[in-house]
A and B are shown apart, each in its own frame.
Chain A
Amino acid sequence: MVEWTDSERTIINGIFANLNYEDIGAKALCRCLIVYPWTLRYFGAFGNLYNAEAIIANPMIAAHGTKILHGLDRALKNMDDIKNTYTTLSELHSEKLRVDPDNFRLLADCLSIVIAAEMGYEFTPEMQAAWQKFLSVVVSALGRQYH
């Protein structure tokens, strides 16, 4: 089981409390698709994704980014058992969506970078450490049902 200090819980809850899901979710997913273009393989049905400008303007991508970010809410509400919280979602990503689990890490990195842009110096080293720890637990949980 993952141990969380009080400070870490406060930091993570604080970041979510001030999060604009539509803005940050869209930006994080767009950034991932642009910086790591091979991730586009999962979005064949999303319309025009031919260049960075098209990706950024694509409303389906923006909506999907928001959806993904809301998926993190489950982990926030169940911080003491993130592993089991994501069993079904992990199966979905493995069996149905067939997403290479390394992509979770790539998206997590992009999310951290987008949040850093949003928060500037408020995103202290301690906050980054707690936030990245949270994301790495989620990433690990999402990869658990891959066989």
Chain B
Amino acid sequence: MTLSAKDKAAVKGFMAKMKSRSEEIGTETLSRMLVVYPQTKSYFAHWKDLSPGSGPVKEHGIIFINGVYEAAEKIDDLKNGLLTLSELHAFMLRVDPVNFKIFIHCMLVVLSMLFPEDFTPQVHLAVDKFLAQVALALSEKYR
């Protein structure tokens, strides 16, 4: 499921639209993930407030979204481009890769909510393929 030129163009085009609402997307995706999939809270036990839209959730939401933008810039070689991030997730954070899929689903729901006209099935397909490749690249150093 490699990204075609058309997929990459669709992703880049949609990312440009996302930039105007980055903080909203990040906060909403993370808030949602913690509520809909409570098991994900286990990675954030050190935060003082895990409720939707809280300080730590907002701050971290932005970190997540910036990671996605960084990946989009390295879309032509995700495996090598995201090596450092992969090492972080594999050796330090030790996030079970099943959670990448959970995060992706929450993000797709949020994108659909915030961009009902632009998040067409065709854009959804390209973004889903892209995020799946990002998850794969992030899993690279796990074992």
Contact = CB atoms under 8 A, between A and B. Distances in A.
A34 B119 CA distance: 13
Contact of B124 (A113, A119, A125, A129): A113
Looking at chain A's contact residues, the main secondary structure is: helix
A30 interface: yes
Q: Which of A52, A112, A117, A123 has the most CB of B within 10 A?
A: A117
Contacts of B110: 116
A26 B35 CA distance: 29
Interface string B20-40: 000000000001101110000
A117 B110 CA distance: 9
Interface in A28-55: 30-31, 34-35, 52
| Interface size classification for chain B | 20 to 34
A113 B108 contact: yes
Interface of B: 31-32, 34-36, 52, 105, 108-110, 112-114, 116, 119, 121-122, 124-125, 128
Main secondary structure of the interface of B (DSSP, over half): helix
A128 interface: yes
Given A34-B125, A128-B35, A128-B109, 12 more contacts: A34-B121, A34-B122, A34-B124, A35-B128, A56-B121, A109-B108, A112-B109, A113-B109, A113-B112, A114-B112, A123-B109, A129-B35
A126 interface: yes
Contacts of A123: 109, 113
Interface of A: 30-31, 34-35, 52, 56, 109, 112-114, 116-121, 123, 125-126, 128-129, 132
A52 B109 CA distance: 20
Contacts of B52: 125
Interface centre among B52, B108, B109, B114 (most CB of A within 10 A): B109
- Of B32, B52, B113, the most chain A CB neighbours within 10 A belong to B113
